[in-house]
């Protein structure tokens, strides 16, 4: 069994001082760097939105960040503008060592659909290509770390299990948003699906 480390969205906008900051998001970078040297492969994801992305609250008059709306693909949380392509907010946090990355996967670049998961857009049908990459390298066991536990990490973990991978979430190397109880709900959903929480 070949194990890969998948580092989810360790970007400036998700760290303290960023547009969609996760508390203590920057503090997990050193531990993630250490884990990189124990993995057979390292994949790093990068939220990469065009300006005016449909998931931004600024694109929905009368709506505020963290409101929810119905999109053609389902319920969507509206976010502050974040991780806009080419911006400093979209850049990886400077404490993250990206030189060890075998693959940097950008997601969320389609204007009309958000992408929490490293595997699929939020319609749960449009693939990012990560599954094919992992299978072509015979990477069957995955360790997930990064931001945020209850959104992009959880969605990635749930999709990975559904696709037949063995999945662990290293919770000490994740931080969450906890929007209306989302942390407890997603931790339970992951356990119920067979994700091992370390």
The one catalytic residue in 15, 47, 97, 107 is 107
- DSSP for 49-74, please give it: BPTT-TTBGGGSTT--TT-EEEETTE
Place of tokens 């969605």: 155
**Contact indicator for 167, 196 with CB cutoff of 8 Å:** yes
The one catalytic residue in 9, 114, 143, 150 is 9
**Contact indicator for 148, 173 with CB cutoff of 8 Å:** no
The one catalytic residue in 15, 83, 152, 174 is 152
* Distance of alpha carbon 37 from alpha carbon 5, whole angstroms: 10
Q: Active-site residue 152, yes or no?
A: yes
User: Do β-strands 166-175 and 196-197 pair in parallel, antiparallel, or remain unpaired?
Assistant: parallel
Q: Active-site residue 159, yes or no?
A: no
Q: Active-site residue 9, yes or no?
A: yes
Q: Point out the residues that are catalytic.
A: 9, 107, 152
């Amino acid at each position: 069994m070949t194990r890969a480390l998948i580092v989810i969205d360790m970007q400036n906008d998700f760290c303290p001082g960023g547009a969609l900051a996760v508390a203590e998001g920057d503090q997990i970078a050193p531990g993630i760097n250490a884990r990189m040297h124990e993995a057979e492969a390292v994949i790093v994801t990068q939220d990469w939105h065009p300006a005016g992305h449909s998931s931004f609250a600024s694109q929905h008059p009368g709506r505020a960040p963290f409101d929810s709306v119905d999109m053609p693909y389902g319920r969507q949380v509206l976010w502050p503008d974040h991780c806009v392509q080419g911006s400093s907010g979209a850049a990886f946090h400077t404490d993250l060592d990206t030189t060890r990355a075998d693959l940097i996967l950008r997601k969320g670049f389609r204007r009309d659909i958000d992408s929490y998961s490293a595997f699929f857009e939020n319609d749960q049908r449009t693939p990012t290509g990560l599954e094919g990459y992992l299978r072509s390298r015979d990477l069957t066991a995955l360790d997930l770390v990064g931001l945020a536990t209850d959104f992009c990490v959880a969605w990635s973990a749930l999709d990975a299990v559904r696709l037949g991978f063995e999945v662990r979430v290293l919770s000490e190397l994740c931080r969450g948003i906890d929007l209306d109880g989302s942390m407890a709900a997603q931790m339970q959903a992951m356990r119920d699906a067979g994700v091992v929480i370390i």
